[in-house]
Structure formats: structure tokens, C-alpha cells
Amino acid sequence: MILSKRLRPKNKIYKEVVIPVKSEPDLPKADWKISGLLFLPDENLMSAMSTPAVIICHGLGSRKERHIEFADFLLQNGYSSLVLDLRGHGQSEGFLNGYEWLDVLAGLDYLAGISLIDHNHIAVRGSSFGGLTALRASMADKRLKAAVAICPAVEDALNKSIEENGLPDLIDDRDMYARIDSHRLRQNLIERNILAEIKSHSPEALLLIHALNDETISFEWSWQLYELSASAQKDLLLCAGGSHASAQHDLYVHQFAVDWLNRIFYDGR
């Protein structure tokens, strides 16, 4: 597949929401709140129907507004969505620390209270560090019926980068911003290994997408995840050319992901 031009959203129909986060395993109950954008269809057009939904996770140093285009594309294709600012990013509180998958589960709990959502058809989609977050969330909670990971990071690659470049407590460089608990994040990255864990805790359905020319995270990591996953349905899309950030904003990739979700959710019903 050759990557196309970036899609520009035609509309911005969303509601800003604030969601309390779940407690972390090794800390007292946290009182952080995360910020999100909720995309829902017009209730007047829905009658008694409900829509499938996707929780969307950005990468390290990014923010939810950069994924409005995909949320808009989903809405045009019959999907609701919740686009998150992961902890330590954008308008969310807290610090990036390796427990971002709990932000996804908090978002999942939030969607459980919305009647327009088909709660049996919720997926998570993430890119780069958000891809790792999406994988961890879908491995932890089977309410997430599918995971789409685009150029996902893995701990081995992140640890190598940290060893070479260090890990700051704050990223504030032009378009990138993140507040980081570097000690806890580093500890988490050392103690956990997605490549080992996905063998026994695979998502129910998994789509991996990677650009062959990714200069940050090699496509070989996605290949390994694909080979190791025991997901009942798994697919790998390798895109010719591209870069680490291109596939997540590509119109053809958007369409491929939606077609794949439709097949996972509705074929054979």
C-alpha cells in the first residue's frame, strides 16, 4: 500500500469531557482526571439504533486534537469515538508513568454510561506509544473487542532509546509536550515486556499497521507482535514508504481500519 495524502476533517461534532482515572496497582487511589473529546451521532438521526465505538490514543508528546480527523472519519462511517489526552498530556492531569492503559479503561467505563454506544462493539486504536497503550488496555479488559495498533512502540525499543538519549521529566519542544514521572515510567518499561505477555494475554482481535520506512520504531517489532499474538483474529498491514507518523493520519489506513472493524464486529453475525 502506498500512503496517501492526509485527511482533513469536514466537521468537528464533539463534546469535551473530563473522566476520573482508575487507581494504580501500587499507589493509593489517584484523583487525576483525564480530558477527552466525545464524538456521537445526532440523536435525532439514530432512532433506536446504537453505534460501535473506538477509543483513540495518541503517541508520546502528542494530544487528542491531532486525532480529530480520524474521529471525524469514524463518525462519517457510523462509529462513535472517544479521543483521549493520556495522563501527562494536553489538558489531562498527572504524569506519564507506564499506566496509561488505565486511562483507556477509565474511558471504557465512561462509555458504559452512554446509551447511544453499542457496548458489545468497542475497540481501541492507538499510534506509537499510544499503540502500546492500546495493546495493554485490550489485553487487560475483554470489554474491548478489538485493538488497532499503528507503528506501536515496544518496551525493548523504548529502553534502547532511553539508554542512548536519556529520559527527561518534561518534554516541551515545539509541537511535543509531556509531563513524565521518569522513575516510574522507566521501572515499568524494565519490568514489563509486551512481546512476552501477548502470547498468553492477546487481544480478542488485533490489527497491526506499520510503515516500512518508519525511522523511529522498526516494522519488525509489529511483525514480532503479529507472530507472537494468539488473537483469534489477527492481521498485519505493512505500508510501503511512509514514516513513523504518516500512517496514523492516512486516509487509506483509516478506511482499512474501519473495514477491518466492520468485518470483526459484524461478519458472521
In this prediction, residue 49 carries a pLDDT of 76
Successive 10-residue mean pLDDT values, the chain, 269 residues: 40 83 69 92 67 97 95 94 97 94 96 94 98 98 98 94 86 87 93 95 97 95 97 96 93 97 84
> What b-and-e string marks burial along 44-67, b requiring 16 or more CB atoms within 10 Å of the CB?
eeeeeebbbbbbbbbbbbbbbebb
Is residue 2 one of the residues assigned to a domain? no
pLDDT on residue 44: 55
Closest by CA to 151, choosing from 236, 82, 232, 70, is 236
pLDDT value, residue 9: 44
Q: Is residue 75 part of a domain?
A: yes
- Give the chain's domain count: 1
User: In this structure, is residue 3 part of a structural domain?
Assistant: no
pLDDT score recorded for residue 168: 85
How is the chain split among helix, strand and coil, in percent rounded to 5?
Answer: 35, 25, 40
Interatomic CA distance for residues 61 and 57, integer angstroms = 12
Q: Is residue 186 situated within a structural domain? A: yes
Q: Which domain holds residue 167?
A: 15-266
Beta-bridged to residue 254, according to DSSP, are none
Beta bridge partners of 238: 210
Task: Give the global pTM.
Answer: 0.92
For residue 19, the domain's CATH number is 3.40.50.1820
Dihedral of alpha carbons 28, 103, 176, 14, sign: negative
